[in-house]
Amino acid sequence: MNLFDTHSHYNDEKFDLDREEMIRETLRSGVSNFIVAGYNVESSKKAVEIAQNYNELYATVGISPNDLDNIKSQEEIKENVEKIAQIPSKKIVAIGEIGLDYYWNKENKEIQKEMFAKQIELANKLKLPIVIHTREAVLDTLEMLKTHNVERKGIFHCCPLNRELVKEGLKLGFYISLSGVITFKNAKNAEEIIQMIPEDRLLIETDSPYLAPEPVRGTRNNSINVKYVAEKIAKVKNKTIEEIAKITNENAKKIFNI
Ligand code: NI
């Protein structure tokens, strides 16, 4: 099988003790490619460093809405986006994760929006797609995408199982990346959401080391577990897991221009 995990954080410190072994094991397990996603300047640099060592790995760079503790002014936004822009571009396939998160951060909505906008501009300048993180911010996220031109479009990473967001996101031309959340027993509308996504806009991911799917929920997640996400989708769409792997692999290569 050639599973493509479009979002992991093998740059996280939870992989510091066994990163190389874990990557090798992942690439032997039926996962042909995966993305290491940055979420601030340091983790973005690390994502690129890791990806440079393996043909099968790629990186995204960006500053997430949950990493703005030291970014409070226009100047600080500019400085930090500049640092992202200066990371050597080899192996960078998207700007992300970027977006809005009002679950963890309600106090700095304007800074979040400004940071999101500036990184959309960077993506356009570099001719890259964006990887969107959105939580409890459906309306503002959609508003941002409607009022800012995103040339290469992008991906809703770990897409919340929100009908409105998926519907409008698809209409705007974005891909929907589903994570282990769809396997959780309390994800009541997972099947409906899976059915809403046409095959040519569907992606799969783990968000490792977080969000381990059933039946390994609660453990440190890794990209090998993306098979459980594919398996759930296959069941709902009445396909084989191999078919879902093939479709989502082709979609990933298309959006990331690999
Ligand atoms: Ni992430």
User: What is the tens place of the pLDDT at every residue in 201-221?
Assistant: 999 999 999 999 999 999 999
**Secondary structure, 3-state, the chain:** CCEEEEEECCCCHHHCCCHHHHHHHHHHCCEEEEEEECCCHHHHHHHHHHHHCCCCEEEEECCCCCCCCCCCCHHHHHHHHHHHHCCCCCCEEEEEEEEEECCCCCCCHHHHHHHHHHHHHHHHHHCCCEEEEEECCHHHHHHHHHHCCCCCCEEECCCCCCHHHHHHHHHCCCEEEECHHHHCCCCCCHHHHHHHCCHHHEEECCCECCCCCCCCCCCCCCHHHHHHHHHHHHHHHCCCHHHHHHHHHHHHHHHCCC
User: What is the tens place of the pLDDT at every residue in 95-130?
Assistant: 999 999 999 999 999 999 999 999 999 999 999 999
What mean pLDDT, rounded, does the chain reach?
97
Considering the chain, what percentage of its residues have pLDDT values greater than 70? 100
- How far is ligand 1, taken at its centre, from the CA of residue 37, in Å? 6
Q: What is the CATH code of the structural domain delimited by 3-255? A: 3.20.20.140
- How far is ligand 1, taken at its centre, from the CA of residue 41, in Å? 14
Domain boundaries, the chain: 3-255
Predicted structure pTM score: 0.97
Predicted local distance difference test score (pLDDT) of residue 105:
97
- How far is ligand 1, taken at its centre, from the CA of residue 74, in Å? 25
Predicted local distance difference test score (pLDDT) of residue 16:
98
- How far is ligand 1, taken at its centre, from the CA of residue 210, in Å? 8
